[in-house]
């Protein structure tokens, strides 16, 4: 069975992909991949995703230069989530932060714990 055949894509043909910094283990972002994005990622060694809002493929960093080089890829036990261990160039988040997970729960509110990079 091929790598693609073992992935359980949802009814929309997508699978969530979590990008994690290979060096320090920090979770940087989550995005969606369809079969074509997975194939492009495997072929090029750089993360490609599927934009649900634009309904199109995109290579992470193609316009900003903030690319994600793939170090390793893991499939979870259910076969329905990918973990991409990556080397990130520049910030991962479109808000210009290193991680999209920059808001932390503090009692009953969200506290911003990371400022945008200059």
Determine, yes or no, domain membership for 41: yes
pLDDT per position as a tens digit, 8-52 = 999 999 999 999 999 999 999 999 999 999 999 999 999 999 999
Q: Residues 72-79: what's their mean pLDDT?
A: 98
Determine, yes or no, domain membership for 113: no
Tally the domains of the chain: 1
CATH number for the domain that contains residue 56? 3.10.20.810
Determine, yes or no, domain membership for 68: yes
Determine, yes or no, domain membership for 72: yes
Q: What is the DSSP string of the chain?
A: --HHHHS---TTS-EEEEEEETTT--EEEEEEE-HHHHHHHHHHSB-EEEETTTTEEEETTTTTS--EEEEEEEE-TTS--EEEEEEE-S-SSTTSSS-S--EEEETTEEEE--PPP-
Determine, yes or no, domain membership for 109: no
pLDDT per position as a tens digit, 61-73 = 999 999 999 999 9
Determine, yes or no, domain membership for 64: yes
pLDDT at 2: 86
Please give the residue that has the higher pLDDT: either 3 or 37.
37
pLDDT at 118: 76
The pTM (predicted TM-score) of the whole model is 0.93
Range of the domain at 36: 3-92
pLDDT at 86: 98
pLDDT at 1: 79
What is the C-alpha to C-alpha distance for residues 14 and 33, in angstroms, rounded to an integer?
5
């Amino acid at each position: 069975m091929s790598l693609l055949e073992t992935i359980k894509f949802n009814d929309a043909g997508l699978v969530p992909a979590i990008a994690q910094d290979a060096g320090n283990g920090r979770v940087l972002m989550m995005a969606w991949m369809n079969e074509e994005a997975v194939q492009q990622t495997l072929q090029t060694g750089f993360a490609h995703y599927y934009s649900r809002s634009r309904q199109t493929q995109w290579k992470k960093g193609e316009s900003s230069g903030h690319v994600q080089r793939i170090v390793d890829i893991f499939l979870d036990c259910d076969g329905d989530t990918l973990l991409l261990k990556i080397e990130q160039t520049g910030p991962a988040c479109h808000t210009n932060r290193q991680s999209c997970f920059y808001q932390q729960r503090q009692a009953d509110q969200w506290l911003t714990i990371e400022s945008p990079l200059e």
